[in-house]
Homo-oligomer: A and B are copies of this chain.
Amino acid sequence: MLKKQNFKGKTELVANWDTLQRIFIRPENEEVRATLVKYMEQILFGLHDFLMKNVGITEEASLKELSDRFRDSRINRNPSKKLADVIKGIIENIAPHAVNVASPYFIGHMTSAIPFFMVHLQTIVAALNQNPVKLETSKVVSILERQVLAKIHRIIYDKNDVFYEEHIQRPGSTLGSFVEDGTLANLTAIWVARNIFFKPLSGFAGVEKEGLAVAYQAYDIERCVVLVSQLAHYSLRKSGGVLGIGNENILPVDVDSSNRMNMGKLQTAIRNLQKGPGPKTRILAVVGIAGTTETGTVDPLPEIAEICAENGIHFHADAAWGGPVLLSKKYRSLLSGTEQADSVTIDGHKQFYMPMSCGMIYFKDPHIMDTVAYHAAYINRPGSVDLGIRSLVGSRAAMSLILGSALEIMGARGYALLIDHGIETAHAFAEEIEARPLFELVTSPQLNILTYRIFPEDIKREWNKADCQKKKTLLAGLNNINITVQRLQREAGKSFVSRTTLKRRGCEDMVVLRVVIMNPMTTIDIIGEILDEQEDIYHRQFMCAQG
């Protein structure tokens, strides 16, 4: 878009109208086309070649150093770079200090490699630039989105043909909704549950219209709560805060020894809340998790469903992580009970291997989202097919086009192979941990996430004969070892596992190393290398001092 001018002997970039218009004109001439394709080639392979050579997360430049490079807060009056320079700059200056999430040695978070074709699909979305908030800026893409929502709804709820035939393209039905991420999907679910609970009564127009304070009066209650596993994602607390319920009213229920919500505790909590002393309380929802962020565990969903049904409580399943396991014939049963949830969160950018970001919320009842419908004079008019009518968000990218295409390219079986690999590799990882005396497996993988820690044998022996006070000291030491080894491995730049702190009622917090296996290139050999490196770091760092 730039014109070069000689100004006092210097070549300068200048924005002017002619050059500016050119960037909006479709390139008719072969030379321009060739240039634009060359840029794409640089993006596709320049970036990737760099990442190939630099497998890990390098810490060559400290945060402080990097921050110092990005301190200029002024926008240049004239253009300072051409597209080619921007691409070059990103390859040379950004990529080396970004995180190589595609590396098979990067097994610490839920962000991983994505198939190559996903980049192409994202490019299509940008080139078409449709806005599915309304039909007038998306048309067929809104219709396609409804189909994609029905496809995912079907893998969750597996209703019959008559059901999908009726609802798939019916403007008044909502099988689900795309939002930015799992946080907003969970927020949408609790929003809907809140509004269903505080529905209009005679003399009360509903909580969405009149607000929570009036709703509490209308329903003669003083407090409402949501029950979640102690391992629930923090977005549920945030939802409680945003929705006016108060995040202290998102109540954690203890987990059992397998890190699954304890059903006895859940029933006691419900009984106490509904009939106990204290403020008059109602339960808006119980949230079961299919794949907790920290341990990948799956709550006893069928039991939660039964308890919710008995008590008339909205059952939300947070399957942001685990949802796509439903595509695996082999492991689908791990998620059984999801089909009984009133609402289900699934993330596209997690185990659907989509680029950032794509949250989705699904509902068993295609009319339940009516309770969050909004209209305006210029869009989302009542009766229209605009998808923005029932949606937390307004304008958004057509991520459904990516997911719909990916389902065609991969097939259910393609995704199932990835899922199966993740789960089976995580189990192999667990076996490897148990075979190595330096480590202790803390949470076994139910899906493809596990936690473990360094627990040297000499400390184990001390632990077994230690009293309470001594154990406290030993744990502090262990936590420090694990924090240090994780940090040093990350800084070495070859591999990355994450760490978290497990909170256990009546116990001190335990620092653990956390592993998420979703990259199909992560083999058991690579896992061996990662553990070897941790052992090396441990020995180098702690053995001299102790030995």
Contacts and interface: CB of A to CB of B under 8 A. Distances in A.
A154 B113 CA distance: 36
Contacts of A70: 140, 143-144, 146-147, 168-169
B396 A246 contact: no
B209 A247 contact: yes
A426 to B, nearest CB: 17
Contacts of A75: 151, 154-155, 327, 407, 411-412
Interface residues of A, number: 184
Interface in A19-66: 20-21, 23-27, 33, 36-37, 39-41, 43-45, 47-49, 51-52, 57, 63, 66
A253 B519 CA distance: 54
Contact of A355 (B120, B210, B397, B414): B397
A519 B114 contact: no
A63 B190 CA distance: 33
Interface string A97-109: 1110110000011
A234 B146 CA distance: 23
A90 B124 contact: yes
A156 B165 CA distance: 50
B66 A143 contact: yes
A357 to B, nearest CB: 5
Q: What is the total number of copies of this protein in its complex?
A: 2
Interface stretch (A236-244, A455-463, A470-478, A524-532): A236-244
Given A138-B98, A244-B243, A357-B396, A71 B130 contact: no
A420 to B, nearest CB: 9
Contacts of A43: 120, 123-124, 127
5 contacts: A2-B409, A43-B123, A70-B144, A212-B246, A241-B372
A394 interface: yes
B1 A117 contact: yes
B115 A122 contact: no
A20 B411 CA distance: 11
Given A123-B122, A169-B67, A45 B21 contact: no
Nearest to A33: B45
A13 B411 contact: yes
B211 A137 contact: no
B246 A208 contact: yes
Interface in A57-100: 57, 63, 66-83, 86-87, 90, 94-95, 97-99
Contacts of A153: 73
A245 interface: yes
Given A79-B408, A168-B73, A408-B86, A20 B396 contact: no
Nearest to A420: B17
A80 to B, nearest CB: 5
